[in-house]
Structure 1
Amino acid sequence: MRRKVVQQRARVTNALEALRHQIGLALGAARNAHRAAEDELARLRLEQLVVSVGLENAATDPQVAEHRNDPALASVLSWLENVKSSFYADWADGPERLRQLVASAAPGPAGRPPGEWLGRLGTFDGTKPPELWRIGSATVDGTSIGRPSTTLTFDVAVPLLDESHLSITSVPKSRATVDALVENLLMRVLSTFTPGAVRVHLWDVGQLTAILPNFYALSRTSAVTVHDPTRLVDLLDELAGHIRRIHAHTLQAGYPSLPAMRRATGKRVEPWRIAVLYGNGEDLAPEHLRDLKRVASGALAAGISLILVDVPTVLGGSVETISLLDDRRAITSMTGPDVVVDLDPPLPAGQVASAASRLAEAIVTRQGGPRSFFDLLPTEFGQECSARELRAPVGFHEGEPVEVVIGDTTPHALIGGPSGSGKTNFLYALLGSLTARYSPDELALYLLDFKEGVSFAGLAPGKKDESWLPHARLIGVNVNTDREFGLALLRFLSDEMRRRSAAAKEFEVTNIAELREQDPDGHWPRIVAVIDEFQYLFAERDSVTAMATALLEDLARRGRSQGIHLILASQDIAGIEAFWGKPAVFEQCTLRIAMPKARRVLAEANQAAVAAPRWHAVINHESGVAHGNQLAHIPDASAKNTFPALQRQLWQQYATHGRPRLFDGAVAPRLSESTAFGTLAPGTDRPRALVGQSIEVADNAHGIELPTAPGRNLAVLGSSRTEALSVLDAAARSLARQFEAGTAEFLLGCAVDTCLDEVDALANLLAEHGHKAAVVTAAELPALFADLAERMSHSDGRTFVMLYGVDAVLPALEHKELGKPSGLDHLRTLLKQGPSKGVHVLGWWRGVARLKDTLGFNGTEDIGAWVALDVQGSELAPFCAGQVVHWSPRPGRALFFDRGTHASPEVTIPFHRPEADDV
């Protein structure tokens, strides 16, 4: 036991000794490190001291003398001498290197003497501008670098454009020097690039005009714009709007900035902009300072450089400074405070003015005068893809094309302009530019014109020109009285939006671009619906307005993601009561196009349209806010043989695409040209009697099915002879196409003598097609009804009784012999029981009251469908399940209701009878 205790104590003692040894080593290392740190600190302090007094003065300086016995001083002095010698050896070639640097980074006018470029037009149109721009030179005394009795001069240049902003601070009585400095920089920039590639904005808090007067000639072009000194906010808003527009454009294209986009694509898509702001040394208003800093932070990425003169502020981002010492010298942040820069002398005023005039003339010449419509078109048709957006130039501003962009960020457009302002011409320019760039597989057009005209009629095949615009799916003209057709278009677009939305859900995507990627075999073109004079849709306070408003709001909100875009055009939108308090549609119309003198299209404070010259338009992608304005000259696209020439080329290139449907509200449709009529054929047990053209996007017709079921009779109501004949004529002809010869019988009872010729002509036509057809006079009608009532129980075919003005023989039908049913009784029996036996009545009554007299009490159910002509809606309630009918008669239109298929009556268009042309 004792032995174990001794061993344990020995182990503890050994461990403590080892610990003390390690602690001793650590403390020794710490002391050494501390001593080394103190020596290093002392050395650094000596270095700092020697540098502060100067290496040449160190030998005599009393502070340095205090450390004369310090061993570290000798090593410090030796090291600094070596550094100085090395620096002098390197700096001996420094000025030459700087000259070479400026020569390479500031080529041509950016760095060369004015005599070599002043007055000559620039030729540079690349994507990366010079990095530096010369402002003067600096001289270094050779004695300070070991070269006594020599001076070394080097060029001084500052970055601008994509590289940096510039802040200039003046001294008293140096305004002329500042102007010369700014003028030198701007003239170098303007003389480097092709005319029009740079735009300069000038603002001076102290001057209304006379800012850099040598540039006056350029102020009549977009190259130089002088801004109101009291409206700095306007300039900052304009720059901010430009930054937002460029940012959205570059991000959508997949680039972080405009310079990056230029370098990647090799194209200059926007001019460079320089904004020169002259202050007075006083702080800007807080709101202006805030806006200026916001602009400065994003300006370089949008191709904007700021030159601030005596504007005290600290800008974010890259900023270089020039601080004047007197009227000829300055120091810069590029060279440091110890190097004084001798600024270049002012450019000769006369030569600057002459160069500005020549540049202005070149810009005007470059515009080439008014461009033609064909300048809007690409060299090759149909090469663009609409998956992400639609983009097309519609006009020109100083030779540069101005584009309209329709996509997710600007989904819908609002176009306004009074009569004669060029609105229709703009629409043609837009349609031409779009259709030339995108194939019919990429773009589908639905065109509707509510005013009394044929703006879009030429886009459909006509008698003189068989070509059509292959992108157009629907063309509606003269529909000012057919508001229902506008509603039908909105319903169609709403249905298409739901179809696309369902497909997007199936493929688990959120927009049309992603759907096209996931479903490459699907057909998903972008749809553009143009509705000219769209305010007619909301002309009355009725159900059409209510439904159109709801559909339009839904399409405006959700259509963008499904590639459905609206272009709404109007002469004046001030009186659209349907949208009062419902701004959803206008808020979604972020693309605004204002023709000269247009009202309420742009933002309320934006008066650009008031001053716009004729044949121009203000294009604004920022919901009409002033900073988004782009003025464009719109070439003449509606001149004779202009758009038709393009249309014929497109028609020939896309010959496989079908013709559009043309709906002309001023022309009655023809039964023989109706799609519904052409598809009728024998072999059906539910024959369909067509009564008129339906007002729909598709080419459909209204009709009543006539199976062997109760109530399957048709009543035509009203006194309009022409339209009544048309409805019955279409019904008889369409029924005749659905039966083999000899299997249908047509009995035409004419109670109105003035209709006998038309009835005889119809009977002959039916007979020519092999059907039994007989004309029954008014006197023979009572006997006809009695005969039909007696033999319909054993009828083995189909019999159609066509009655013309049957109410004219009501007195004769009401005559009743004792113990025998009257002719009216037989007619009522025929209406009630006939359809079940294959006998149907299609009759014309010249008044609703007369039909009621014919049917008697509770007889309305025997009329399964009716067509109302010149009858007020209030009279039709008994035949429409008691619902209120909103209908006022209008020429060439009727109201159709089939209680078996319709929830409410629908407007129909009676077909044109060819025989009517000969009457």
Structure 2
Amino acid sequence: MGRKVHEQRARVVTALDHLRHQIGLALGAARNAHAQAEQELAQRRLEQDVVRTGMDRAAADPELAARMTTPAMASVVHKLASVREQFYAEWTAGPRRLRELVAETAPGPASAPAGEWLGRVGTSSGLTTPQLWRIGETTVDGSADSAFDVAVPLLDSSHLAVTSAPNTRSTVDGLVENLLMRVLSTFEPGAVKIHLWDIGQLTGVLPNFYALSRTSAVTVHDPTRLSDLLDEFAGHIRRIHGYTMQAGHVSLRAMRAATGKRLEPWRIGVLYGNGEDLQPEQIRDIKRVASGAIEAGMSLILVDVPTMLDGAVESVHVTADRTAVTSMTGPDLAVRLDPPLPGGQVATASSRIAEALMARQGGPRTFDDLLPTEYGTASSAVELRAPVGFHEGEPVDVVIGDATPHALIGGPSGSGKTNFLYALLGSLCARYSPNELALYLLDFKEGVSFAGLAPGRKDESWLPHARLVGVNVNTDREFGLALLRFLTDELRRRSAAAKEHEVTTLSELREQDPNGHWPRIVAVIDEFQYLFGERDTVTTLATSLLEDVARRGRSQGIHLILASQDIAGIEAFWGKPAVFEQCTLRIAMPKARRVLAEANQAAVAAPRWHAVVNHDSGIGHGNQLAHVPDASSGGVFPALQRQLWQRYGSTSVPRLFDGAHAPRLAESTAFTALSPSDRPHAIVGQSIDVADVAHTVELSTAPGRNLAVLGTTQRDAVSILDSAVRSVARQFAPGDVEFALFCLVDRCEPAVTALAERLHAEGHKAETVTADTVVETVTAWAGELADGSQRAARRIAVLYGVDAALPVLEAKEPGRTSGLDHLRTLLKQGPARGVHVLGWWRSIARLKDTLGFGGTDDVGAWVALDVQGNELGPLAAGQVVHWSPRPDRALFFDRTTLSSPEIVIPFRREEDLDD
């Protein structure tokens, strides 16, 4: 037992000895590894310190020299010496290659000596941009052979942060002035805009640029309004990013490369902070601007602004007079900055550039300057784009497309709104053919702004792109409603075609259906607020239709341009911003209110004959000020119109609706298109519609196919009966119809006589009946109906002033039927036998007296003149009739064709028009 315990103890002791040996080995290896790691760390730190300090300066530093002479650091010193020897062996051609690189990437004034370019006006269009801009030179070893140019990136590439040592402001100014003058002297005038801000000076920022500060090339900003300047920068960046991204490009530079056009000038913002502390929000805004500026063609030069920029930024630290350290060359090389340019020469050069810029911008532009050299070559598949004015010599475009589908134009009377519309229409029509652009023009105010775009008596030409011209429709709000209905129907047609071809936009539809006719439609409604001027069904329907077109029209190429003197009082849109939200294109004439965003007051300061063009829903950063040439004075627009008319003369004549002129029956398409028919229609008046159509009453054999004209207005009543009779006569050959003209009011005798003579001249039988023979004639016609005899000819009884003959008609002898009863027989039984009554009653009560109890069904159609709507309900199937009498307008209802009464315009008799 004891021996067994002894053996176990021996095994345990042996195991512990082995464990202690292994632990000792591990600890020894760890100590060796730790020592080796410490040595490697010391070597890396020495290498880093020597590289940062430089070999020569490190050898002269006691602390570094002691570390370098330590035997353990010999390998580090040897390695660095080898690298240095290799570098200098390879650097022999380094300065030459650097000089060649700068010359290649910084051509012309970007790197050349000032004597070669200072004072000369730049000529580059800006399609290609120098990548670097010289600021000085440096040398590696102090010898002239190792010297090379130092240049920094700027436009489209990088920002520049400049810091300075005390008493080096003149060196910093010279550096900035040198850079800016190189840029200004490279590009043609106007291609670069410079913004100067100095927190410590009011007006003395780079005074040699004073001549340029009188132009748009250089702007000196208020030192106390940094936030406003940064907001302006941010707005510009948002605007540029907006339309570059919409065009499918990531930056302005990429868009310029793709299109081959310099669409925007570069902008350089020079901010002198003088080392003063800025507000945290200002620092935040600077960083935010810097983050998106490069892609928008803007570069910042920050001088002693206490903030670190993210992204592409190079730095220059001015250490002494004309000496700096740059991020381009590293901390070991001292850069000798170029000497400041001679002040007098800079001032002279600035004056020359300013003069060239003003000469390039030219004097006041004319309407002809808006027009292209060749007409009708542009495609509207993607958008409509046309200049409407100029800003500093450059055209300012209006773009109408999917991104900016609808426009809102505002300006008080005399501000130039009509002139702007003519400039816009002319510029568009000159660029796009009628197959690409269709115009529907409506002017609610009392005037003839658009009347000249349709053929007239003085000028036979018309604007070929116009499909509809409506003027003087301030009292015909229904015409605006008709236009919106037409646009809705067209929208529905286009949507169906898009669905059939499985596309969503007009450009895609035109690509899939190249043989279809799909122009972009632009509907211009001037003084559109009249459409919503009352709280009635017209306003309700118009609001609904307008919202629908505004919302869905953008994808189908249907665009609205809504113009107004003042939109502040449009109650119909209170709480319904759908239309205005879709009007992302805003045009504000001087002193316009509530067109731009509430905080955007640009229109208040806009000078006369200018407009603020904004494609960003009126937000301030989207403002573009444009001088609009004279497009509306005598002979300016008509000259273009005649050229376009001669070019596209085969286009259809636009429909002209003039609310101030009474229509003529002989000029109505509905009348001239009539021909003999078995189903004659009596025309009662012109319809208020986009198409040139008329309201008619079919004189069929169905019960009630008679017509009643109601009201005391004799001229309109006579005109309506005249139109009805003449239109019916036109649908029959001579002998196939007979007319009896009952002249029951003496004042109607001239009109009745003239109508009878016209019918006789056309070969028709027309009997004139007076009050003395009215009973006899009515009795005879009713008797023939009672006999059941069939006449070959249709019969039309036309009664002028039925109520005037009621006493005669009501009189009867005992045992005999009265004339009124015979007239009721004609009304009730006549239509089925080809006999129709067209009568004029001067009041509804007298019509009811004529018809008797239950006889209202015998008059299936009526036209009301000076009759209030509440009196017409019984004649309109009991519905509430909203109607107040209006001059030269009437209310028409035919229970077989209309669901509710509609307004018509009575045709004028030629005799009335001649008076």
TM-score computed with the length of structure 2 as normaliser = 0.92
Structure-2 residue corresponding to 1:489 = 483
> How far has the Cα of 1:158 moved from its partner?
0.8
Q: 746, 755, 762: which one pairs with 2:748?
A: 755
Greater shift in the superposed pair: 755-764 or 425-434: 755-764
Q: Deviations over 1:412-457 (max 9, x none)?
A: 1111111111111111110011111111111110001111111111
Q: Deviations over 1:137-188 (max 9, x none)?
A: 223334xxxx7xx774322111101111111122333333322222221111
2:95/2:145 contact within 8 Å kept: no
SS of the residue corresponding to residue 663 of structure 1 reads strand
> How far has the Cα of 1:212 moved from its partner?
2.1
> How far has the Cα of 1:51 moved from its partner?
6.7
Structure-1 residue corresponding to 2:700 = 707
CA change 1:122–1:37 in 2 (3 A) is farther
For 2:761 and 2:406, the matched residues in 1 are separated by: 55
> How far has the Cα of 1:380 moved from its partner?
1.1
For 1:498 and 1:379, the matched residues in 2 are separated by: 37
List 4+ stretches of structure 1 deviating above 6 A.
Answer: 35-45, 56-60
State whether structure 2 residue 73 is matched by structure 1 residue 92.
Answer: no
Greater shift in the superposed pair: 829-838 or 773-782: 829-838
2:238/2:621 contact within 8 Å kept: no
Structure-2 residue corresponding to 1:682 = 676
> How far has the Cα of 1:843 moved from its partner?
0.4
Structure-2 residue corresponding to 1:19 = none
Write the letter of the residue equivalent to 2:71.
H
SS of the residue corresponding to residue 320 of structure 2 reads coil
Greater shift in the superposed pair: 700-709 or 109-118: 109-118
State whether structure 2 residue 808 is matched by structure 1 residue 798.
Answer: no
1:601/1:624 contact within 8 Å kept: yes
1:451/1:478 contact within 8 Å kept: yes
For 2:78 and 2:337, the matched residues in 1 are separated by: 39
Identity of aligned residues (%): 72
> How far has the Cα of 1:342 moved from its partner?
2.1
For 1:743 and 1:50, the matched residues in 2 are separated by: 120
2:239/2:621 contact within 8 Å kept: no
State whether structure 2 residue 391 is matched by structure 1 residue 401.
Answer: no
For 1:551 and 1:215, the matched residues in 2 are separated by: 56
State whether structure 2 residue 635 is matched by structure 1 residue 641.
Answer: yes
Write the letter of the residue equivalent to 2:589.
M
SS of the residue corresponding to residue 819 of structure 1 reads coil
For 2:744 and 2:163, the matched residues in 1 are separated by: 102
Structure-1 residue corresponding to 2:103 = 103
> How far has the Cα of 1:269 moved from its partner?
1.5
Structure-1 residue corresponding to 2:762 = 769
For 1:400 and 1:125, the matched residues in 2 are separated by: 13
Write the letter of the residue equivalent to 1:729.
D
2:108/2:186 contact within 8 Å kept: yes
Structure-1 residue corresponding to 2:18 = none
Gaps of 5+ in 1: 1-34
Write the letter of the residue equivalent to 1:898.
D
Structure-2 residue corresponding to 1:137 = 137
Write the letter of the residue equivalent to 1:847.
S
CA change 1:870–1:642 in 2 (3 A) is same
> How far has the Cα of 1:66 moved from its partner?
4.3
Q: 63, 67, 72: which one pairs with 2:71?
A: 67
State whether structure 2 residue 826 is matched by structure 1 residue 830.
Answer: yes
For 1:844 and 1:873, the matched residues in 2 are separated by: 18
RMSD: 2.4
For 2:899 and 2:233, the matched residues in 1 are separated by: 56
> How far has the Cα of 1:867 moved from its partner?
0.7
SS of the residue corresponding to residue 488 of structure 1 reads helix
> How far has the Cα of 1:102 moved from its partner?
2.0
Greater shift in the superposed pair: 399-408 or 176-185: 176-185
Aligned length: 877
Q: 648, 654, 665: which one pairs with 1:654?
A: 648
> How far has the Cα of 1:47 moved from its partner?
7.1
Kindly report which structure 2 residues correspond to 1:585-734, keeping only aligned pairs within 5 A, or say none.
585-684=579-678, 686-734=679-727
Q: Deviations over 1:73-99 (max 9, x none)?
A: 56x666544432221122233333322
> How far has the Cα of 1:570 moved from its partner?
0.9
SS of the residue corresponding to residue 166 of structure 1 reads strand
2:105/2:130 contact within 8 Å kept: yes
For 1:387 and 1:515, the matched residues in 2 are separated by: 9
For 1:286 and 1:566, the matched residues in 2 are separated by: 45
Q: Deviations over 1:797-836 (max 9, x none)?
A: 3211100011111111111211111111111121112112
Greater shift in the superposed pair: 411-420 or 47-56: 47-56
> How far has the Cα of 1:893 moved from its partner?
0.9
Structure-2 residue corresponding to 1:27 = none
Write the letter of the residue equivalent to 1:670.
R
For 1:97 and 1:88, the matched residues in 2 are separated by: 14
TM-score computed with the length of structure 1 as normaliser = 0.91
Structure-2 residue corresponding to 1:295 = 289
1:448/1:486 contact within 8 Å kept: yes
Write the letter of the residue equivalent to 1:474.
L
CA change 1:308–1:839 in 2 (3 A) is same
SS of the residue corresponding to residue 210 of structure 1 reads coil
For 1:170 and 1:589, the matched residues in 2 are separated by: 50
> How far has the Cα of 1:253 moved from its partner?
3.1
1:179/1:212 contact within 8 Å kept: yes
Greater shift in the superposed pair: 119-128 or 227-236: 227-236
Greater shift in the superposed pair: 46-55 or 421-430: 46-55
CA change 1:388–1:289 in 2 (3 A) is farther
For 2:493 and 2:714, the matched residues in 1 are separated by: 44
1:50/1:58 contact within 8 Å kept: no
For 2:166 and 2:40, the matched residues in 1 are separated by: 46
CA change 1:37–1:560 in 2 (3 A) is farther
2:729/2:764 contact within 8 Å kept: yes
Greater shift in the superposed pair: 529-538 or 111-120: 111-120
SS of the residue corresponding to residue 854 of structure 1 reads helix
SS of the residue corresponding to residue 71 of structure 2 reads coil
For 1:237 and 1:61, the matched residues in 2 are separated by: 55
1:95/1:152 contact within 8 Å kept: yes
For 1:116 and 1:286, the matched residues in 2 are separated by: 44
State whether structure 2 residue 206 is matched by structure 1 residue 202.
Answer: no
SS of the residue corresponding to residue 772 of structure 2 reads coil
> How far has the Cα of 1:918 moved from its partner?
4.4
For 2:48 and 2:520, the matched residues in 1 are separated by: 72
CA change 1:40–1:647 in 2 (3 A) is farther
SS of the residue corresponding to residue 188 of structure 1 reads helix
For 2:48 and 2:568, the matched residues in 1 are separated by: 77
CA change 1:283–1:794 in 2 (3 A) is farther
